[in-house]
Amino acid sequence: MSAPELPLSAPLNVGFDYTRSVGPVLGRFVNALRERRVEGVRGSDGRVHVPPLEYDPVTAEALSEFVPVASEGEIVSWSWIAEPLDGQPLSRPFAWALVKLDGADTSILHAVDAGSPSGIHTGQRVRIRWAEETVGHIRDIAYFVPADGSDTEPTEAPPPVAKREDGAPVSVVITPIHLKYEHSASPEESRYLRGLAEGKLIGQRCPSCEKVYIPPRGACPTDGVPTTDEVELPDTGIVTTFCIVNVPFLGQKIKPPYVAAYILLDGADIAFLHLVLGCDAADVRMGMRVRAAWKPRDEWWTSLENIGHFAPTGEPDAPYESFAHHL
């Protein structure tokens, strides 16, 4: 017996723009940053908070008394990052620091371009290095530099925010988020995906309830045990239910109208979503017999995309009672 194959895995990159409305307090702060000014807010105990807080941390009272503060201040504490990570303010080694700006009583977290750990200490005076283009976002503060030093060379930071129209008030901030993962399929899913690369449809049977799942499951949702016994299924089945897509959307590959349908393969107990093409959308119906239309063999890989779509076989429809419990 050969050693079990490792599950399939692949990089998964997730990206989206977080778009958030700022409200009156953070709005005032980011609009000031855009003009290369810093504003804090006075708390109910008299302390000036920078960045400003919407609600007092002691009394929870709404805060609204804005106070301009300096763009220079001193380091309260710091740590060193020897190998900067994606998206951080500097791409060369730098310090993260809490900086208390002159006129403020609380401190702001930001980056300090200090060269090496020996170039930074608590109590050190630092000043803001502004981004070349300010748009109303925390990253209008590119990073801090020692107050008595000359400007350091700008490092190429990733574009932090979406640009906006000149003059428009800043009411939202947009932050692109990019995350990288190594995504793994379960051992059962991996068997199925490797089968597809050979043109096989491999389901697995739950050892407890004997239902056949395709794709197979890491655990049977009825019994909570992994599916185990392998079952090779034919590429024929029926449409259990379907919808006609009439609406165009971003990334759409087929011109509407077309049919997305749940296909129940012969011998399976669970339907999966695929396309039904090869007939007029209006002719697709529940119980219709269909067969896989495979792409040319040299395009096969570990994906259900190997089946381009399902097409009607022309056989008589399956009676409703035969699939009613699979809906």
Partner 1 sequence: MPDVAVVGFAQAPNVRSTPGTTNGVEMLVPIFAEVFERTGLSKEDIGFWCSGSSDYLAGRAFSFIAAVDAIGAFPPIHESHVEMDAAWALYEAWLKIRMGEVETALVYGFGKSSAGQLRRVLALQMDPYVVAPLWPDSVSVAGIQARLGLEAGLWSEKDLAEVAARSRADAASNPAAQFSGTAEVADLLDAPYFADPLRAHDIAPVTDGAAVLVLASAERAADLVDSPAMITGIEHRVDSPSLGVRDLTRSPSTAAAGRALDLDGVELAELHAPFTHQELILRDALGLGEQVRINPSGGVLTGNPMFSAGLARIGEAASRILDGSARKTLAHATSGPVLQQNLVATLEVLS
Cβ closer to Zn ion: 221 or 257?
221
16 binds, among Zn ion, partner 1, none (CB under 5 to 8 A by kind): none
Contact call for residue 44 and partner 1 (CB under 8 A): no
Contact call for residue 235 and partner 1 (CB under 8 A): no
Contact call for residue 59 and partner 1 (CB under 8 A): no
Select the span of 144-152, 181-189, 246-254, 264-272 touching partner 1 (CB under 8 A): 181-189
Contact call for residue 88 and partner 1 (CB under 8 A): yes
Least distance (Å) from partner 1 to the CB of residue 132? 17
Least distance (Å) from partner 1 to the CB of residue 266? 24
Using CB under 8 A, which residues numbered 100 to 129 contact partner 1? 100, 106-111, 117, 122
Contact call for residue 294 and partner 1 (CB under 8 A): no
Contact call for residue 136 and partner 1 (CB under 8 A): no
Least distance (Å) from partner 1 to the CB of residue 185? 7
Cβ closer to partner 1: 72 or 235?
72
Tell me how many residues contact partner 1 (CB under 8 A): 67
For the chain, the three-class secondary structure string (H helix, E strand, C coil) is CCCCCCCCEEEEEEEEEEEEECHHHHHHHHHHHHCCCEEEEECCCCCEECCCCCECCCCCCECCCEEEECCEEEEEEEEEECCCCCCCCCCCCEEEEEEEECCCCCCEEEEECCCCHHHCCCCCEEEEEECCCCCCCHHHEEEEEECCCCCCCCCCCCCCCCCCCCCCCCCEEEEEEEEEEEEECCHHHHHHHHHHCCCCEEEEECCCCCCEECCCCCCCCCCCCCCCEEEEECCEEEEEEEEEECCCCCCCCCCCCEEEEEEEECCCCCCEEEEECCCCHHHCCCCCEEEEEECCHHHCCCCHHHEEEEEECCCCCCCHHHCHHHC
Under the rule (CB under 8 A), what is the footprint of partner 1?
6-7, 9, 12, 14, 18, 20, 22, 26, 29, 49-51, 53, 57, 76-82, 85-89, 96-98, 100, 106-111, 117, 122, 137-139, 160-161, 173, 175, 177, 179-187, 189, 217-226
